[in-house]
Amino acid sequence: MRTLVARLDSDGDVLLAGPAVRAAAAAGEVVFLCGPGGVHAAELLPGVTRIVEWECPWIANPAPEVRPFDVEAVTALLHGIRADVALILTSFHQSPLPLALVLRLAGVPKIVARSIDYPGSLVDVRVTGDPDVPEAQRALEVAHAAGFALPEGDDGRLAVVDPPRTDLSHPYVVVHPGASAPARTWSPDRWAKAVVALTAAGSRVVVTGGPAEAGLTEHVAGACGTDLGGRTSFRELAGILAGADAVVVGNTGPAHLAAAVGTPVVSLFAPVVPAVRWAPHGKHVLLGDQNAPCRGTRARECPVRGHPCLDLVDPSDVVAAVAEVTA
């Protein structure tokens, strides 16, 4: 049995597909189709045999141009995989039908997806409804509809292959201030004050971020924190998070990576997307006003002056939350 699992979003979304991947892998080989922003996470998922990368023009942001040649090329590539079944995993606001059309043209004999729209002959097994459940569970339900089940002893939590050990001395707390959508994280000055507050409370603070966030992490680390911004791969970040007592982060991929390595998360979580679906899939504390005016807007930039849903959180609240999750 060869299963194609498709999740065309970023690293955090791909990590949430992990339980569905493991269910499919219990029945055979898994080929994972993902976008450029999800490759590093796909490389860490247990059960993935092969990764196919495609920047999908109806998923990527900013969206690339839709070019017939690109669609024809990926259709031919998917045809060559000879998958027996495809699982299309999407968020609640995405339609699986464009990709289902490509997979059908690629000759995939069985396509399983969740769709609130009538799919016609594009989908063989349609999961209906849009339950308010964690995204990882939502994806796993698609795998169940295809006839897959987690192996005995698998509790359905997020997981990654063994991360590398870190040379950092213990104990320490990780602060990860960046996010692809500014609305989904704290303002830089608030992060910097939290590092000072955590240090004053006796924590050693390590600040992490991607290469494009080096300026941000330097500002946030200040004179108190250890700045590792832009200095780690995604796999190395997994090792750093695994060694931490706790991770303080916005609603972004490293929150899910921390959950996957079993580290408690303090999440500065803006309600632009529902926490019931996107909160870290493990031990966590949420900070932020979940009933703020931005609730449910899916905004990438905060639509309310002053970013009150998060910026009214005091750094002392972060210190207390870290104490709570590490108790």
pLDDT tens-digit map of 220-261: 999 999 999 999 999 999 999 999 999 999 999 999 999 999
- The Cα-based distances of 45 to 112, 118, 165, 245, 275 in angstroms read 21, 32, 18, 23, 23
* Chain segment 259-281, per-residue pLDDT in tens: 999 999 999 999 999 999 999 99
pLDDT tens, residue by residue, 183-200: 999 999 999 999 999 999
For the chain, give the mean pLDDT: 96
In this prediction, residue 229 carries a pLDDT of 96
What local confidence, expressed as pLDDT, does residue 131 receive?
84
Mean pLDDT of 173-185: 94
pLDDT score for 271? 94
- Looking at 129-138, 153-162, 234-243, which range is the least confident one? 129-138
Give residue 237's pLDDT: 97
111 pairs with which residues across the strands? 86
- The stretch 157-175 carries a mean pLDDT of 94
pLDDT confidence of residue 130: 85
pLDDT for the residue 92: 85
pLDDT at 93 (0 to 100):
85
* Separation in Å, CA 237 to CA 46, 172, 223, 229, 261: 17, 14, 22, 10, 11
- pLDDT tens by residue, 87-131: 999 998 899 999 999 999 999 999 999 999 999 999 999 999 888
Q: Which domains does the chain possess? A: 2-145 (3.40.50.2000), 173-325 (3.40.50.2000)
Is residue 33's pLDDT more than 90?
A: yes
How far is 23 from 203, CA to CA, in rounded Å? 39
